């Protein structure tokens, strides 16, 4: 069993839900998060409100699942990212689980 963690901007939330379904990952959790990117100092200096931080509404999904489902999910995410037209790809990581109850 492993932990798969997926992050995406709000725009692709429904797409991630479909990817999980197509990978046969039926049990998962999600949370709303704010995503940030560090911008260059030039952009900060040109911003009237340079002290403010602007985050993107994003989502985090995670599931404790088996390798076979994770492999399918990663293939689906790679295919999805290859066909997108934005600079915000879906990102995913896998964390091995040593023990569980």
For residue 79, which of 5, 1, 19 has the smallest C-alpha distance? 19
Q: Is residue 9 part of a domain?
A: yes
CATH of the domain at 28: 3.30.70.120
Q: Is residue 83 part of a domain?
A: yes
pLDDT for 76: 98
Range of the domain at 91: 2-36+56-96
Q: Is residue 68 part of a domain?
A: yes
Q: Rounded to two decimals, what is the model's pTM?
A: 0.81
Instruction: Please count the other Cβ atoms lying within 10 Å of the Cβ belonging to residue 13.
Output: 15
pLDDT for 42: 44
Q: Is residue 18 part of a domain?
A: yes
How many residues comprise the chain? Answer: 101
Q: List, for residues 57-90, the tens digit of each pLDDT value.
A: 899 999 999 999 999 999 999 999 999 888 899 9
Q: Is residue 88 part of a domain?
A: yes
Q: Supply the DSSP symbol for 66.
A: -
Classify burial at 48, counting beta carbons within 10 Å of its beta carbon; exposed 0-12, middle 13-18, buried 19 or more. exposed
Number of structural domains (the chain) is 1
Q: Is residue 47 part of a domain?
A: no
Q: List, for residues 37-58, the tens digit of each pLDDT value.
A: 766 544 444 444 555 556 678 9
Q: Is residue 79 part of a domain?
A: yes
Q: Is residue 50 part of a domain?
A: no
């Amino acid at each position: 069993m492993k932990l798969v963690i997926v992050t995406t901007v709000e725009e692709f939330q429904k797409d991630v839900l479909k990817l999980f379904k197509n990978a046969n990952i039926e049990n998962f959790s999600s949370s709303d998060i704010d995503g940030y990117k560090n911008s260059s100092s030039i952009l900060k200096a040109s911003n009237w409100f340079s002290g403010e931080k602007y985050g993107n509404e994003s989502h985090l999904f995670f599931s404790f699942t088996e390798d076979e489902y994770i492999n399918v999910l990663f293939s689906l995410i790679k295919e999805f990212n290859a066909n997108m037209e934005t600079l915000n790809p879906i990102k995913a990581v896998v964390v091995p689980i040593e023990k569980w109850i």
